[in-house]
Amino acid sequence: MRGLAEKYDTFIFDWDGTIITTTELRKLDSKLDFRLLFKRRESMKHLGNVKNEVKNSGSLLYKIYFRDSRKMRKVERDIKNKVYALAINIVLSFTRPRLHNGVREMLQEMNDKGKTVAVFTNGNVDRIMKEAEMLKIGDYFTAMLSAQSVNRLKPNPLGLEVLIKGISADKKRTLYIGDMVDDIVTAKRAGVASCAIADGLDRKEDLKESDPTYIFRSMEEFKKHI
């Protein structure tokens, strides 16, 4: 197999279960959170309108957090919603995020090779940014976008399409990496290659059935193929 860095210029990662490890409690929560399940069902009702939404996505692009402006925009959001910012800090003080083995080294190698690295997740963007700050990996990412920010959860591909447009990526040279079947389906619907990491939220057997372009047992194995 050719090195992935030879085939792709843009690498977009899911967050929970892919970049950071996931606990059994978080796994259970992802399956039972009725708010997210409802939003996911609502998102699926709009699949037929994705092309038009992407075409008219100018108003959605500002929801992307770009590296050069992230700190300023984060401060602005924290000032506007101090109660929520406090809640995030309290939760993270008890459930400190932890990177999967090899992630930091992988991100450094991506940056050294001049690759564009971004995040697209269903997770709340304020939490993701705070976790990235705590883990000291925020500067590795060119941009971050939460599907919640565009009101279309995965496997609706709108958010991924908007992010690709926002960072001016070539779809043929873009790889989306995630740990759930929804990630693989989202990538396919957006017309980009997909990579499944089989030590996150979904079982390896289910990931195989979703037919990703690549599948690796862990981020450490993924790193070996860069």
pLDDT for res 61: 86
pLDDT for res 151: 92
Q: Are 113 and 137 in contact (CB under 8 A)?
A: no
Cα distance between residue 226 and residue 109, in whole Å: 8
The reported pTM is 0.88
Tell whether domain 4-224 is in CATH 3.40.50.1000.
Answer: yes
Concatenate the DSSP letters of all residues of 33-61 into one string: -HHHHHHHHHHHTTGGGHHHHHHTGGGTG
pLDDT digit string, tens, across residues 139-184: 999 999 999 999 999 999 999 999 999 999 999 999 999 999 999 9
pLDDT for res 24: 52
pLDDT for res 184: 98
pLDDT for res 72: 44
If we measure between CA atoms, which residue out of 142, 145, 66, 70 comes closest to residue 110? 142
Cα distance between residue 153 and residue 182, in whole Å: 9
How remote is the C-alpha of 65 from its chain's centroid?
A: 12
Going edge to edge, which strands form the sheet with 116-121? 65-66, 143-146, 116-121, 10-13, 174-178, 193-197, 214-216
Neighbours of 141 (CB within 10 A): 25
Positions of the chain with pLDDT under 70: 1-2, 23-34, 69-95
pLDDT digit string, tens, across residues 209-225: 999 999 999 999 999 99
